[in-house]
Chains A and B, each alone.
Chain A
Amino acid sequence: MGILNITYAGRSADLAQPLDDDIADADVRRIAEELVRAGEVAGLVVSDLPPNAFRSFVVDRLADPTGTVRIYLRPKVPFGAGLARRG
């Protein structure tokens, strides 16, 4: 089992219930969207979550020191020199 951490709009929170650690990336995005939209991720309430909000997000899977798999759903971080122009 794996713990899913979701980062969106400057906030980050863990999902209370673990997921299968071999869950497909697409399913991670879909589940995250459903749960965030439903307000079921404590600390990550987004009232106006747009459709496909996590489409371009990255899914990382890392084992913590205890061996627990951590699944991170996060924005891409391509920039070190500056930030992308909005719009």
Chain B
Amino acid sequence: MSPARVRILFCGVGALGSTAATLCRNLPATLAFVDFDRVEAKNLASQAYTRQAVGRNKAEALRAQLRTFYGIDSQAYPVRLSETNIAELAAGADLLVDCLDNIAGRTVILEYAGRAALPSVHAGLAADGTFGLVRWGERFVPDAEDEPGQATCEGGEHLPFIGLVAGRLASIIAGFVRDGTRTDALVTPAGG
């Protein structure tokens, strides 16, 4: 990639997505966020939202935070990403960042990126907070949940590790924006 301004679409701005996007705020890039979900009070323990965001759509709340705290303009799409709208949402994007929490959504991103010849990078966390993965689309296969609709944790127990994985993701995105490199990462709390 040239260092000219690129457009990055973050798909899912929960724990990983909101934190990674915040860490990407200084890149020569236009950031865009898509998420249908709303910020709940319990999300404050593990996601990059403040109390003022509670009740707001996550994509819109993140856009407001970047504007208010850092003077950064971004774009927000308060909708659920799907097969029917991804082409419209991803129009003009140079990179898709997958931080979703379900295999169906991840598959939509992966398949669209393949069809559109668009780079995609995917990040995920293990259920027990002991492992994180960042992998580019050409090498990524989405993992299923152990059971459909597996509950997610709203506690802050794993916040430092979420930050570690999100930081690694943001660093990898920065490398791509800088010179097009596509680095994968396995992330453990021990730094392995």
Contact = CB atoms under 8 A, between A and B. Distances in A.
Interface of A: 5, 7, 9-13, 43, 56, 58, 60, 62, 72, 74-86
Given A62-B139, A82-B152, A75 B190 contact: no
Contacts of A86: 128, 153
B182 to A, nearest CB: 12
Given A58-B143, A77-B132, A79-B125, 13 more contacts: A12-B186, A78-B127, A79-B15, A79-B101, A79-B126, A79-B152, A80-B125, A81-B17, A82-B46, A83-B15, A83-B126, A83-B129, A83-B158
Contacts of B100: 80-81
A29 to B, nearest CB: 15
B126 A81 contact: no
A80 B153 contact: no
A79 B15 CA distance: 9
Contacts of A77: 124-126, 131-133, 143
B192 A11 contact: yes
Contacts, number: 120
Given A11-B188, A12-B186, A81 B12 contact: yes
B99 interface: yes
A76 to B, nearest CB: 4
A76 B192 contact: no
The 9 A-B pairs with the shortest beta carbon distances in the complex, nearest first, are A81-B14, A77-B124, A82-B152, A12-B192, A84-B127, A80-B99, A75-B126, A81-B101, A10-B130
Contacts of A76: 126-127, 143-146
Interface of B: 12, 14-17, 37, 46-47, 98-103, 123-133, 139, 141-146, 150-154, 158, 162, 184, 186, 188-190, 192
A74 B142 CA distance: 13
Nearest to B162: A83
Contacts of A56: 146
Nearest to A43: B192
B130 A80 contact: no
B143 A78 contact: yes
Contacts of B142: 78
Contacts of B184: 62
Nearest to A83: B153
